[in-house]
Amino acid sequence: MNLYIFNPENDLALAFGGINYTPPPAAQRIARELALLPLWYAREGEETTICSAEPAPDDFRRSLEPLGLAVSTVAFKQIGELPFDRIEVWGWNLALAHRLHQAGVDNRLLPSPEQCNHLRRLAHRRLATEAGRYLASHIDYPMPPLPVELHTPDEVQAFTEQSDRKVLKAPWSGSGRGLYWNLYGYDTSLAQWSNGVLQKQGVLMGEPFYEKERDWAMEFYSDGTRVTFAGYSSFLTDNHGAYKENRLTTDHRLHKELSAAVGTHVVTAVREALASFFTERIAPVYTGYLGVDMMTYLAPDGTTRLHPFVEINLRMNMGVVARRIADRFVAPGCEGHYRIDYFPRPGTLYRDHLERLHQHPARIVDGRFAGGYFALTPVLPDSQYRACIEFDAR
């Protein structure tokens, strides 16, 4: 029996670095309200239990029946009482491993403190710089410049006062978080933000601003020995770079679209080189999924180019979730969107949920979605977060 834990605060815990990390209230709420998300990416055909503070509501359980799914849950405090064979988390960090140890989980199922610290070092944005350097040395393609490390306020000021626009990134952050879009030079707001990151994390990564055309990702899986390609991802972000949604379509279609933009030979070369890089760099110490965020952007010469190392997420990620849903649960010929919604006012999300259920109920044919709207996690009257899918009208 396998245990799945959705811990979306992983990047914040990595930034903290210690065992006594307490997520902020918003992160705790996301983890609680989307706790059942692993249902959609758990391995098929295996006995699975999901860590959740509350059992799945009866109406949510009934909604899963046409898909051939059932959900089993366990509270965190009871985890140590059950004989799990494996624990699958959104991302490993020292604080989570420590909590699981205190809950009575067998240490053989947990990474050691040394392993957690090693994974933390690998999860630093320097890994994207290493990947960019590797790609540049193995592929004949005009790669973007590598990120610059900035260690002091003076270095940040000198970097951001250059004539072109810049983006600053906190070293342990992901999903579009921990970014500062520097469009107006070094001002008070930037100084306060950058000084805070430097005090807590010791360094900032500085990069040029790109005229982005579209967000992409390549997903990979490490079995502890070798890293293999696991699919493409096409996603949307908001104006601040934060994740909004993923497309649900076939891997073949995404490959064709990306290849049409930058060339099949480029896509193939990047995919194969990254698999080789990760096999050398992370396979010996990491088992699980990882994603490489990319973008197509407009180069100064007017051509569309690929930036193939924007961000590396050394953990499960929303692109893999979307890929698993599209491959396993979407009917042939259907396309839709997988998204995470946030409604700040309690009650508003619940009303939206009921309205969509009434206007666009999910159509499920032979255990696969063929249209409509479906909430992937329970939506209650006081919910503020939702994972859902919705399909384009046909």
* pLDDT for the residue numbered 59: 96
pLDDT band with cut points at 50, 70 and 90 for residue 254: very high
Least confident of 70-79, 106-115, 175-184, 244-253: 175-184
Instruction: Please give the model's pTM, rounded to 2 decimal places.
Output: 0.95
* pLDDT for the residue numbered 92: 97
pLDDT band with cut points at 50, 70 and 90 for residue 46: confident
Beta carbons of 48 and 1 less than 8 angstroms apart: yes
pLDDT band with cut points at 50, 70 and 90 for residue 393: low
Q: Is the pLDDT of residue 134 over 60?
A: yes
pLDDT digits (tens, 9 = 90+) for 354-364: 999 999 999 99
- Return d(Cα 314, Cα 45) in angstroms, integer: 25
* pLDDT for the residue numbered 394: 57
Q: Is the pLDDT of residue 116 over 60?
A: yes
Q: Is the pLDDT of residue 166 over 80?
A: yes
pLDDT band with cut points at 50, 70 and 90 for residue 175: low
Mind listing the domains of the chain with CATH numbers?
Answer: 1-124 (no CATH), 148-208 (3.30.1490), 210-321 (3.30.470.20), 336-394 (no CATH)
* pLDDT for the residue numbered 346: 86
The residue-averaged pLDDT of 134-146 equals 97
Beta carbons of 356 and 365 less than 8 angstroms apart: no
Lookup result for tokens 């859902």: 388
Q: Please name every residue paired with 231 in a beta bridge, in sequence order, or none if there are none.
A: 219
Percentage, residues of the chain above pLDDT 90: 91
Q: Is the pLDDT of residue 174 over 70?
A: no
* pLDDT for the residue numbered 37: 98
* pLDDT for the residue numbered 86: 95
Read off the tokens for 331.
């009917």
Q: What is the mean pLDDT of the chain?
A: 95
Q: Which residues contact 318 (CB under 8 A, 6 or more apart)?
A: 175, 235, 243, 246, 338, 340
Q: Which residues contact 341 (CB under 8 A, 6 or more apart)?
A: 349, 352, 385, 386, 387, 388
The residue-averaged pLDDT of 158-162 equals 91
Note the helical H segments in 317-393: 318-329, 348-359
CA–centroid distance for 211 within its chain = 23
pLDDT band with cut points at 50, 70 and 90 for residue 281: very high
* pLDDT for the residue numbered 265: 98
- Return d(Cα 351, Cα 346) in angstroms, integer: 10
The residue-averaged pLDDT of 93-117 equals 96
Read off the tokens for 26.
């918003």
**Closest to 145 in 3D by CA, of 124, 167, 163:** 167
- Cβ-defined contacts of 348-357 (< 8 Å, 24+): 349/379, 349/383, 349/384, 349/385, 349/386, 350/379, 350/380, 350/381, 350/382, 350/383, 353/379, 353/383, 353/386, 356/390
Q: Please name every residue paired with 216 in a beta bridge, in sequence order, or none if there are none.
A: 234, 294
pLDDT band with cut points at 50, 70 and 90 for residue 41: very high
Q: Is the pLDDT of residue 164 over 80?
A: yes
* pLDDT for the residue numbered 300: 92
Q: Which residues contact 334 (CB under 8 A, 6 or more apart)?
A: 248, 369, 370, 371, 391, 392, 394
**Closest to 222 in 3D by CA, of 285, 171, 177:** 285
pLDDT band with cut points at 50, 70 and 90 for residue 54: very high
Radius of gyration of the chain from its Cα atoms, rounded to whole angstroms: 21
* pLDDT for the residue numbered 177: 74
- Return d(Cα 312, Cα 131) in angstroms, integer: 9
Q: What secondary structure letter does DSSP report for 348?
A: H
pLDDT digits (tens, 9 = 90+) for 211-248: 999 999 999 999 999 999 999 999 998 877 788 999 99
The residue-averaged pLDDT of 373-385 equals 97
Q: Is the pLDDT of residue 9 over 80?
A: yes
